[in-house]
Amino acid sequence: MIGPLTIPAAGERIAGRFTFSGDEGLAKYEWPYFAIRARSDGPTVLITAGIHAAEYTGIEAAIRLGRTLDPKQARGTILILLLLNRPGFYERSIYVNPEDNDNLNRLFPGRADGTWGERFAHRLLTEIITKCDHAIDLHAGDLIEDLVPFVIYRDTGDATLDGRIVRMANAYGARWAVKSAPTGERPGSLYAVAALNGVAAMLAESGGNGLLVEEDVVRHVRGVTNILKAIGSIDGDPDPVAPPTVVRSFEWLRAPAEGMFHRAVAVDQRVRAGDRVGDLTDLVGEPLATITATVSGVVLFTVTSPAIKKDGLLLAIGAL
């Protein structure tokens, strides 16, 4: 066992379900997972997806990896938790978990006696994540977000660990990378707290808008497969992929008022500081605000729904 996960005999794979027993709120749910155990020793690698329940390319890629990674060609153990936000999946929840309407990827390290999401984060971190050597968290743009593929990781200050993390991030094959610390980090993210607990952890983004686009799924499958080769978790030499360009900062633009957002830029578009990136109007079309780029760089993601609350997220620029 690793925490609540049953681990198969050497050379075997299991697809199963687990729960967090002893907690009535958490134990209402069963989470699907795969565990692949090789005959030879090697790292314990955790692949997670669906912490945002409508980011389907990550979930689908995790399922494919779980069904196809061959224990005979692996070393060590590979754990795949393909749908962390289990409560939100059939609800098609955007950003949050319907049990408490919090974003599960802002709650780590969680709390043993906290809200549903805090207790989930605490148990996931202490019982599973920290038992692993490596962690890869798969995302996409959410149900109302488009994005250009990128990876996110942070420095920990431990040169050996940071070297392992960069090796993983570079092996994914993304064009862009956000190195989130010291600027631009959203507090409480799974990958960041995992890294601060000594796990070589990173996040990868591919796809969006609630669509299951094959190319976006395949990018995640290939990226993860290449990382697994690079860290010696599966046999084979990694493909030589160009390392991503690391942006200088990750600037999130928010709406100064509620209204209709008329977007003027697309993902992967270059902008200069001060460029108009969209307009906000009220519900009879009166102009409320012109949204301008705060830095020069590349648009890494945009919201695609025009209905925006005050302080709602509009888009993000990776500074170049």
Binding site for Zn ion (CB under 5 A): 52, 55, 139
CB of 112 to Zn ion, least distance (A): 25
Which one-letter amino acid corresponds to residue 3? G
Q: Which residue lies nearer to Zn ion by CB, 60 or 133?
A: 60
Q: Which residue lies nearer to Zn ion by CB, 38 or 125?
A: 125
Q: Which residue lies nearer to Zn ion by CB, 55 or 251?
A: 55
Q: Which residue lies nearer to Zn ion by CB, 37 or 52?
A: 52
Pairing of strands 297-303, 270-271: antiparallel
CB of 95 to Zn ion, least distance (A): 8
Q: Which residue lies nearer to Zn ion by CB, 99 or 142?
A: 142
CB of 142 to Zn ion, least distance (A): 6
Q: How far does CA 293 lie from the centroid of its chain? A: 25
CB of 21 to Zn ion, least distance (A): 28
CB of 139 to Zn ion, least distance (A): 3
Q: Which residue lies nearer to Zn ion by CB, 55 or 133?
A: 55
What is the C-alpha separation between 280 and 286, in angstroms, rounded?
A: 9
Q: Which residue lies nearer to Zn ion by CB, 38 or 143?
A: 143
CB of 97 to Zn ion, least distance (A): 12
CB of 86 to Zn ion, least distance (A): 15
CB of 115 to Zn ion, least distance (A): 20
Could you tell me which residues come within 8 angstroms of residue 264 by beta carbon, excluding any fewer than 6 positions away?
A: 276, 277, 278, 279
Q: Which residue lies nearer to Zn ion by CB, 147 or 171?
A: 147
As a three-state string, the secondary structure of the chain is CECCECCCCCCEEEEEEECCCCCCCHHHCCEEEEEEECCEEEEEEEEEECCCCCCHHHHHHHHHHHHHCCHHHEEEEEEEECCCCHHHCCCCCCCCECCCCECHHHCCCCCCCCCHHHHHHHHHHHHCHHHCCEEEEEECCCCCEEECCEEEECCCCCHHHHHHHHHHHHHHCCCEEEECCCCCCCCCCHHHHHHHCCCEEEEEECCCCCCCCHHHHHHHHHHHHHHHHHCCCECCCCCCCCCCEEECCEEEEECCCCEEEEECCCCCCEECCCCEEEEEECCCCCEEEEEECCCCEEEEEEECCCEECCCCEEEEEEEC
What is the C-alpha separation between 26 and 28, in angstroms, rounded?
A: 5
